[in-house]
Amino acid sequence: MGSAVVSNLLGEIMTNNAAFSIAVFPGDGIGPEVMEPCLGLLNEMTEQIGGFALSFASHEAGAELYQRTGSAMPDETWKAAEEADAILLGAIGHPEIRYPDGREIAPQVDMREQFELFAGVRPVRTYPGMPVPLADPRAQSLDIVLIREQTEGLFAERDKGVIEDNQLARDSMTITRAASERLFGYAFDLGRKRKSAGRPARVTCVDKANILKSFFFFRSVFDEVAAQHTDIDADHCHVDAMALNLVRQPWSFDVIVTENLFGDILSDIGAGLMGGMGMAPSADIGAKHALFQPCHGTAPDIAGQGKANPTAMFLSAAMMLDWLGDRHEVPAMQEAGRKLNDAVEGAFSAGDLRPYEFGGSAGTAAITRRVREKLGDAA
Ligand code: ATP
């Protein structure tokens, strides 16, 4: 048991705080490099804010473990993830370490299935001072959330597709009423939460209903759910038009909800709007479980060089604090989530913090230092 775990457990006993266990997966490549400072900040904030306690148990899973042992995620680790209050993950995988059939090592994707983490929540938020690619001033204060369905769609056939006689390949799309209803229900609930925070809430369904029957069905279920949430505006957009709109006028959207593969692609456009993969956080939300991780992969090209941008990891941890606080009614955790977000915003607001991925020279340590300073200022 690490000293951080001991000190948090002691804190919990002494103050009788709301206590939560976090299953931590540092993972491969830059995963451990962004996870370590993140846990450091979470420990400091827990002490600073009070009212809750976190205990972290770290687990090995991923490509490097698979290469060494033949298992990407042992049974006892599955059990620990299932029993934890939340899962915090750095990044997992390596392009050159694969299963014999060529698939990438991705226990985080298996966890989505196993724990039914049906909503992939990908906020696209930018702040003044952040180095964003679009010149329009409105791109400097984006606040969109993209929700990606994560249990079916084209990914339902992940390891079941066929190649016949080297002549034909086939994967099929699955859209069910049950999964679509819960997805859209989540999207409208989020829209309502954002409306109560003063945003002009609107939920946009992204599909290809003009061509594929599966998406015609997806859209018709969306319309049924929208009819039960008339306090929130709803509309549709074909995926090709959305790709264009996200580049031309992303500020005109609020909550975007879509199928698994479309969401996978559009959320990378979202990360691009934020300037880079190192800025984009995510949450995989289910009815009982939730996993929080940066959108980026393990970035083997920069691993071990101190160049990884830890911002997406910090923002994912902020989402975890907000989710736990909301679910267990611990306002201090939601406050902690807001403070972490504000500290990131404050870190970039002077406009002089340029991560390596933007061509600057701020590495993991420099960005962490600046965010820590801002947290200190807010204390
Ligand atoms: P995956 O398929 O696992 O999502 P990927 O191959 O799409 O991974 P990433 O590992 O996310 O890609 O990396 C894409 C590019 O972004 C790489 O050039 C990488 O160095 C860069 N990158 C990703 N994450 C970060 C980060 N946190 N900080 C700096 N650069 C990053």
| pLDDT tops 70 at residue 13 | no
What pLDDT sits at residue 101?
A: 84
What pLDDT sits at residue 147?
A: 98
What pLDDT sits at residue 191?
A: 97
In this structure, are residues 270 and 112 in contact, taking their beta carbons and an 8 Å threshold? no
| pLDDT tops 80 at residue 17 | no
Reported pTM? 0.91
333 burial level (CB within 10 Å; 0-12, 13-18, 19+): buried
59: left (phi over 0), alpha (psi -120 to 50) or beta: beta
| pLDDT tops 60 at residue 93 | yes
CA dihedral sign of residues 302, 305, 311, 317: positive
1-118+280-379 adopts what CATH topology?
Isopropylmalate Dehydrogenase (3.40.718)
308 lines ligand 1 (CB under 6 A): yes
Ligand 1 atom at minimal distance to the Cα of residue 311: 27
Q: 196 alpha carbon to ligand 1 midpoint, in Å?
A: 35
Q: pLDDT of 251-289, one tens digit each?
A: 999 999 999 999 999 999 999 999 989 999 999 999 999
In this prediction, residues 221-249 reach a mean pLDDT of: 98
Q: How many CA atoms lie within 13 A of 129 on its CB side?
A: 11
For a pLDDT cut of 90, what percent of the chain falls above it? 85
In this prediction, residues 224-231 reach a mean pLDDT of: 98
| pLDDT tops 80 at residue 250 | yes
In this prediction, residues 55-72 reach a mean pLDDT of: 96
In this structure, are residues 89 and 282 in contact, taking their beta carbons and an 8 Å threshold? no
156 — pLDDT class (breaks 50, 70, 90) = confident
Q: In the CATH hierarchy, which top-level class contains the domain 132-274?
A: alpha beta
Q: pLDDT of 102-147, one tens digit each?
A: 888 999 989 998 999 999 999 999 988 888 999 999 999 999 999 9
CB atoms within 10 A of CB 28: 27
In this prediction, residues 83-103 reach a mean pLDDT of: 94
Determine which residue's CA is closest to atom 25 belonging to ligand 1: 278
93 lines ligand 1 (CB under 6 A): yes
Q: 277 alpha carbon to ligand 1 midpoint, in Å?
A: 6
What pLDDT sits at residue 67?
A: 95
Determine which residue's CA is closest to atom 20 belonging to ligand 1: 299
What pLDDT sits at residue 173?
A: 94
In this prediction, residues 158-172 reach a mean pLDDT of: 90
Q: 144 alpha carbon to ligand 1 midpoint, in Å?
A: 22
- Cβ neighbours of residue 208 closer than 8 Å, sequence gap 6 or more: 215, 238, 239, 240, 262
296 lines ligand 1 (CB under 6 A): yes
What pLDDT sits at residue 379?
A: 63
177 — pLDDT class (breaks 50, 70, 90) = very high
279 lines ligand 1 (CB under 6 A): no
From 94, 261, 277, 309, mutation site for ligand 1 pocket: most ligand atoms within 8 A of C-beta: 277
In this prediction, residues 341-363 reach a mean pLDDT of: 93
| pLDDT tops 70 at residue 7 | no
Same-fold call for 1-118+280-379 versus 132-274: yes
Determine which residue's CA is closest to atom 16 belonging to ligand 1: 277
Q: How far is CA 55 from CA 39, 58, 76, 185, 291, in A?
A: 10, 10, 18, 32, 16
pLDDT, the chain, mean: 93
Q: 135 alpha carbon to ligand 1 midpoint, in Å?
A: 24
Ligand 1 atom at minimal distance to the Cα of residue 91: 3
Q: 7 or 197, which is more confident?
A: 197
In this structure, are residues 173 and 212 in contact, taking their beta carbons and an 8 Å threshold? yes
299 lines ligand 1 (CB under 6 A): yes
What pLDDT sits at residue 371?
A: 97
Determine which residue's CA is closest to atom 1 belonging to ligand 1: 297
Helix (H) or strand (E) holding 120: strand 119-125
160 — pLDDT class (breaks 50, 70, 90) = confident
From 34, 94, 357, 371, mutation site for ligand 1 pocket: most ligand atoms within 8 A of C-beta: 357
Residue ranges of domains in the chain: 1-118+280-379, 132-274
Q: 146 alpha carbon to ligand 1 midpoint, in Å?
A: 19
For a pLDDT cut of 70, what percent of the chain falls above it? 95
| pLDDT tops 60 at residue 4 | no
What pLDDT sits at residue 136?
A: 95
What pLDDT sits at residue 74?
A: 95
What pLDDT sits at residue 103?
A: 85
In this prediction, residues 143-159 reach a mean pLDDT of: 90
Determine which residue's CA is closest to atom 17 belonging to ligand 1: 299
Cα–Cα distance measured from residue 298 to residue 300, given in angstroms and rounded to the nearest whole number? 6
Q: 359 alpha carbon to ligand 1 midpoint, in Å?
A: 14
What pLDDT sits at residue 124?
A: 97
What pLDDT sits at residue 334?
A: 95
